[in-house]
Structure 1
Amino acid sequence: MIIDAHLHTWNTAEVGIGWLAAAGLPARAPIPGDSGDRRYVLVEADADDRRQETEWLLALARRDERVHGIVAAAALEGPQAADELDRLAEMTGVVGVRRLLQDGHPFEPPGLVRGLRLLADRAMPFDACVRAHELPALTRLLDRVPELVVVLDHMGKPPIRDREAMRRWRSDLAKIAELPNVHCKLSGLAAECRDDAELDSATDDVVGRALETFGAGRCLVGTDRPVSQTPEDWCERVLRLVPDADRPRVGHDNASAIYRRTR
């Protein structure tokens, strides 16, 4: 059994997500029905109303036993962060929190550090989503909250068509991996590629680098569907790159330990 640790699902007739149309993504994205014995961590998708999205995802989880849990959105830097996190911590099925930091979100405000510490106090993991050039800022931020369990989404979104930027990505990935509380989600590469051929040529090198850098004990697999679309099962593709003895950790155990179902 595999835990797909990063699946997006939505229905814009019920929860508005304004960015989808411009990205060419469908208005409705159900949980896949073609993947056999698999569990899913459903990750927030930057909906227009994050509370409405969380409630919709939790209602879906109650109807579908394949859902392992929900990574919900929260405004960690906001003045009401403590109340918002208390509310999420009481919701059965919420197993983590994400605050999108990519594309210019400020990393320095003291409120963000305070929110991350509040999250750590509640023993809830943090999904960190940034682009490759933002990895140094994220590393500095997370170094201030060593008690927080962190999952780096999508291997830090490597810029695969820029050779010099990829050199920096490898170096910056190694630096963030020096923080022992940070894990790496082997996901999202297809969204950084122009087509299937580019994905095929990049996968072994990029996933292999992430595995080598973090080690199998700190990696987990996720499809990022439907934002990332792949010609074959992404989880199976990734797990073929993992030594046999480590596949249970990358495919299931690490995700289960990080996204604990305690309620």
Structure 2
Amino acid sequence: MIDAHHHLWDPARRDYPWMAGAALDPIRRPYTVDDLRAVTKAAGVHATVLVQTVSSAEETAEFLAIAAGEPVIAGVVGWVDLEAPDVADRLAVPGPLVGIRHQVETEPDEQWLLRPAVLAGLEAVASAGLAYDLLVRVGQLPAATALADRLPQLRLVLDHAAKPPIAAGEWEPWASGVAELAARENVVCKLSGLVTEADWTGWEVGHLRRYVDHVLDVFGPSRLLFGSDWPVCELAASYELVVDAAVALTGGLSDAERLAVFEHNARAVYGLDAGGEPPPRG
């Protein structure tokens, strides 16, 4: 099993603007590689993808150094200033960099992904052989779809299924927006982050099923990747409970399809070889 989406952080060393507010107090503490080893071992996860948490090249460099010395971390989705004129040079970093992400969900401009400078940066990401993780709100899905059309050579990974409004029980425009994006073959979707879109204290697997069934329907098992979104998930569920929920929600798939969701698709999308290390990029 590969966990294609988790984080590490230390609030004593770095500010995390998204972590403001008392509701996030339970996870406002350091989460280390030792913590990661403990939860992945207990859940039977043998490799992971470490994902950026802030717009910081320094954090990305730290993550790459951590991953280089930690066998369980097979790759890093880092951050780069996509609007920098030398973005291609900034992507040429040592270590297991397999993707780039920017927290687009915090951008007030719903067309941010389509800015000319951003598009030029994303072309550089594609040329470097890297994937791009889409962290977007429902209102930004049309721009993400236009991006997929504009840059068909870029592998796009939709994080957290675009955060469906599970707690509110709402369906549209999330469902149609995700379906429209899924019609683009260069887009895959992470089965991640859903427990924290539900009621943190009262969610059940059944509350997630309609939304998971929808992404299974529009993306298919060949374009879904499992991710824990740990430690964020701890606001609503332990690491093991998130894994158990994902296994239960994919129970109707064949063994081959589940193997794709929980391992093979992550290897293909992020370029991880059989040993858990990313191959040379070019």
2:54 alignment partner, one of 46, 61, 69:
46
1:82 and 2:82 equivalent? no
Shift of 1:75: 1.5
Which one is further off, 98-107 or 220-229? 98-107
1:3 and 2:9 equivalent? no
2:216 alignment partner, one of 211, 214, 226:
211
Q: Structure 1 length as normaliser, TM-score? A: 0.90
Shift of 1:262: 0.9
1:237 and 2:245 equivalent? yes
Return 5+ residue gaps in structure 2 as ranges: 272-277
Shift of 1:15: 4.0
1:160 and 2:166 equivalent? yes
1:173 and 2:190 equivalent? no
1:29 alignment partner, one of 28, 31, 47:
31
Deviant stretches of 4+, over 4 Å: none
Q: Report the CA distance shift for 1:95/1:239 in structure 2 as closer, same or farther (over 3 A).
A: same
Q: Does the residue aligned with 2:5 lie in a helix, a strand or coil?
A: strand
Aligned length: 256
Return 5+ residue gaps in structure 1 as ranges: none
1:57 match: 63
Structure-1 separation of matches of 2:204 and 2:193:
11
Shift of 1:161: 4.1
Letter in 2 for 1:42: L
Letter in 2 for 1:248: L
1:92 and 2:95 equivalent? yes
**What is the correspondence of 1:117-128 to structure 2 with a 5 Å cutoff?**
117-128=123-134
* Aligned sequence identity (%): 33
Shift of 1:77: 2.4
1:13 match: 12
Letter in 2 for 1:76: L
Shift of 1:63: 2.9
Structure-1 separation of matches of 2:165 and 2:17:
25
Structure-2 separation of matches of 1:259 and 1:92:
14
Q: Does the residue aligned with 2:225 lie in a helix, a strand or coil?
A: strand
Letter in 1 for 2:190: K
Q: Indicate the RMSD between aligned Cα atoms, in angstroms.
A: 1.9
Which one is further off, 171-180 or 223-232? 223-232
- On the 8 A contact 1:125/1:259 being kept in 2, the answer is yes
Letter in 1 for 2:29: A
